Amino acid sequence: TAMVRDGQITTKELGTVMRSLGQNPSESELQDMINEVDAD
């Protein structure tokens, strides 16, 4: 997708997506999600 570059997504991008889905995650929650996704 347009948001993912080289398999990476930023907390800002993920936060935008989450808020569009009616969520309001904190920066640390976003980072945790990204860390889980990036883990092999």
Cβ-based neighbour number of residue 9 at 10 Å: 17
What tokens does 28 get?
A: 């640390």
User: Does residue 31 or residue 39 have the better pLDDT?
Assistant: 31
CA distance linking residue 30 with residue 32, whole number of Å = 5
Q: Which domains can be identified in the chain, with CATH numbers? A: 1-40 (1.10.238.10)
Q: Strands, E, within 1-40: which ranges?
A: none
Computed over every residue of the chain, the mean pLDDT equals 83
User: Does residue 4 or residue 11 have the better pLDDT?
Assistant: 11
Average pLDDT over residues 2-17: 77
